[in-house]
Amino acid sequence: MTGTAVPVAPQDLYIPETVDRLRATFDSGVTRPAAWRRRQLRALRRLLTDHTSDIEEALYDDLRKGRTESHLTEIGQVLAEVEHALGHLDRWMRPRRVGVPLNMKPATARIHPEPLGVCLIIAPWNYPLTLTLNPLVGALSAGNAAVVKPSELAPATSALLAELLPRYLEAVAVVEGAVEETTELLAQRFDHIFYTGNGTVGRIVAAAAAKNLTPITLELGGKSPVFIDETADMTVTARRLAWGKFTNAGQTCVAPDYVLVTEAARDSLLAALPKAIGEMFGPNPRASADYGRIVNDRHFRRLTGLLAEGDLLAGGVSDAGERYLAPTVLADVPQGAAVMAEEIFGPILPVLTVRDVHEAIDFINARDKPLSLYAFTHDREARQALLDKTSSGGLVYNAPVIHLGAPNLPFGGVGESGMGAYHGKTSFDTFSHRKSVLSKPTRPDTLRLLYAPHTSRSFAFIAKAVSRTHPLVGRKR
């Protein structure tokens, strides 16, 4: 029989083989002991310290990140996550004893955390080291094997991770590539999928995971609002706002996306913002070693297309040749402007005026639930209203972004901004199954009244047992 051979794409061969190899490693039990987990975390720490200069160079090539920013937002973030995990791993792994109802005694009950298996981590381009390795810290801490898919839009960092991770870690594989490779990965069976990116791809990930009933964590984005009123220290507010917005040229999932400022605070804020930008990046941010560039031409064109509406208060200067867009503030932006229709993910800050916190809350609640909500106010009633009447992944008073550095705070979204969370112990829990284990002795056989045939005595016992286990049964409210 003759015919034309159908070419087989390389990923169709090596991706399934890679997943199978990691599953065999996990099934061997090698990843379960605490000693193995600690060894992997220390190896990851060694990777970061051995190759600091290589990482700095890759981040500069991809996003023109300065050395200080690379340490603050990338290398240092991962090292802190590793150290936290190493310091708490024994406690996280320890089974937790819980009580049992009186009618079940004698018995003991414990919750045992156990690894899930082989996990897939799909990372974005904007923080290509942090958002690849921080979830991996959780996966390794919990005793899993992992496939890591870095973003092809940060090619230098992706190539470096592909070279280094398999060299330092024992149960981690790196798959580079774009849509084709990601699609093939999603066709495999994993035990958990962790995706950071946009909602469009998040839905694709969720649909693929559903075919195998694979649990997922989706770290998405959204338009994170900032509320500012006249009780705020405007000089400090402007500095913190400029830092949170324009770090990484605004390409941060929790960056302030737009500002809702009260009428009483508007003028002082608009006077303070250009000063704060000048303090940080100088009169010509293009020459600043601390100001990055837009990741690619497509995103650059999208961002410059958002500058048409609103009064240009600061910035607006761009250079397509080096994908430079200055830190930009747009004042008095119409609510229906294009810049208000989608997550900006760049160095453009729209400012809108509201009467008070209640109008701001109505504005926020009329849109998708954001990943973060920031409020610069010392008004206790305003702070409480924002806490009680809005929903967001996180709420931070008087500072943007910094909640990511608190390992005991779960980080994640709600609704359109994501599902699930991580950081610290939450990462360990995300990549673990909490197995319920109950042990009951056979002597004395206290369950004998549950056995058939049932009598009036056994019925009375069962009815009493049910009422004790469920105290609302038969109780008048």
Examine the residue annotation and report whether 219 is marked as an active-site residue of this protein.
yes
The burial class, CB within 10 Å (0-12 / 13-18 / 19+), for 149 is buried
Q: Which of 256, 211, 258, 217 is nearest to 431 (CA)?
A: 217
Residue 450 belongs to some domain of the structure: no
Among 35-44, 276-285, 356-365, 437-446, the range scoring the smallest mean pLDDT is 437-446
Rounded to whole angstroms, how far apart are CA atoms 101 and 17?
48
**pLDDT tens digits, 62-110:** 999 999 999 999 999 999 999 999 999 999 999 999 999 988 899 999 9
Residue 191: helix, strand or coil by DSSP?
A: coil
Mean of the pLDDT values across residues 10-20? Answer: 82
Beta pairing, strands 328-331 & 311-314: antiparallel
Q: Which amino acid is at 216?
A: I
pTM: 0.93
Q: Is-contact 114 141, C-beta < 8 A? A: no
Rg (CA), the chain: 26
Torsion angles phi and psi, residue 372, rounded to 5: -140, 150
Residue 402: helix, strand or coil by DSSP?
A: helix
Q: Which of 119, 131, 127, 141 is nearest to 35 (CA)?
A: 141
Q: Is-contact 254 223, C-beta < 8 A? A: no
Distances (CA, A) of 327 to 227, 323, 399: 20, 13, 19
Q: Is-contact 222 343, C-beta < 8 A? A: yes
Let me know whether 429 and 387 are in one domain: no
Residue 460 belongs to some domain of the structure: no
Residue 157 belongs to some domain of the structure: yes
Mean of the pLDDT values across residues 171-196? Answer: 97
Rounded to whole angstroms, how far apart are CA atoms 295 and 293?
6
- The model's confidence at residue 116, banded by pLDDT at 50, 70 and 90, is very high
Let me know whether 182 and 265 are in one domain: no
Let me know whether 309 and 207 are in one domain: no
Let me know whether 114 and 71 are in one domain: yes
In angstroms, the first-to-last Cα distance of the chain is: 79
Q: Of 56, 181, 219, 416, which residue is the catalytic one? A: 219
Q: Which amino acid is at 306?
A: L
Let me know whether 205 and 304 are in one domain: no
DSSP-assigned beta bridge partners for residue 330: 312, 350
DSSP state of 74: I
Residue 310: helix, strand or coil by DSSP?
A: coil
**pLDDT tens digits, 32-59:** 999 999 999 999 999 999 999 999 999 9
Q: Which amino acid is at 462?
A: I
Examine the residue annotation and report whether 119 is marked as an active-site residue of this protein.
no
Let me know whether 208 and 292 are in one domain: no
Asked whether the predicted pLDDT for residue 281 surpasses 50, the reply is yes
Number of domains in the chain: 2
Torsion angles phi and psi, residue 391, rounded to 5: -130, 130
- The model's confidence at residue 10, banded by pLDDT at 50, 70 and 90, is low
Let me know whether 187 and 282 are in one domain: no
The CATH number of whichever domain residue 115 belongs to comes to 3.40.605.10
Phi-psi label, residue 423: left if phi above 0, alpha if psi -120 to 50, beta otherwise? left
Rounded to whole angstroms, how far apart are CA atoms 416 and 41?
32
- The model's confidence at residue 359, banded by pLDDT at 50, 70 and 90, is very high
Q: Is-contact 339 347, C-beta < 8 A? A: no
The CATH number of whichever domain residue 346 belongs to comes to 3.40.309.10
Among 5-9, 140-144, 165-169, 230-234, the range scoring the smallest mean pLDDT is 5-9
Residue 317 belongs to some domain of the structure: yes
Rounded to whole angstroms, how far apart are CA atoms 374 and 259?
9
Residue 410: helix, strand or coil by DSSP?
A: coil
Q: Is-contact 391 412, C-beta < 8 A? A: no
Q: Of 56, 69, 181, 253, which residue is the catalytic one? A: 253
Phi-psi label, residue 65: left if phi above 0, alpha if psi -120 to 50, beta otherwise? beta
Residue 263 belongs to some domain of the structure: yes
Q: Is-contact 146 140, C-beta < 8 A? A: yes
Helix locations, 64-198, DSSP H: 67-70, 76-93, 130-141, 155-168, 179-186
pLDDT of residue 13: 64
Residue 449 belongs to some domain of the structure: no
Q: Calculate what percentage of the chain has a pLDDT beyond 70.
A: 95
DSSP state of 369: P
Let me know whether 264 and 319 are in one domain: yes
Contacts of 251 by beta carbon, 8 Å cutoff, 6+ apart? 63, 126, 292, 294, 295, 345, 346
Q: Which amino acid is at 104?
A: M
Let me know whether 203 and 237 are in one domain: no
Rounded to whole angstroms, how far apart are CA atoms 471 and 452?
25
Rounded to whole angstroms, how far apart are CA atoms 430 and 423?
9
**pLDDT tens digits, 205-255:** 999 999 999 999 999 999 999 999 999 999 999 999 999 999 999 999 999
Beta pairing, strands 258-262 & 348-354: parallel
Tokens encoding 458: 């056994």
Tokens encoding 347: 């160095």
Residue 477 belongs to some domain of the structure: no
Let me know whether 247 and 372 are in one domain: yes
Rounded to whole angstroms, how far apart are CA atoms 125 and 343?
16
pLDDT of residue 5: 44
pLDDT of residue 371: 97
Let me know whether 256 and 321 are in one domain: yes
Asked whether the predicted pLDDT for residue 311 surpasses 50, the reply is yes
Residue 467 belongs to some domain of the structure: no
- Which domain range does residue 281 map to? 225-411
Rounded to whole angstroms, how far apart are CA atoms 308 and 316?
10
Torsion angles phi and psi, residue 38, rounded to 5: -65, -40
Asked whether the predicted pLDDT for residue 469 surpasses 80, the reply is no
Let me know whether 401 and 279 are in one domain: yes
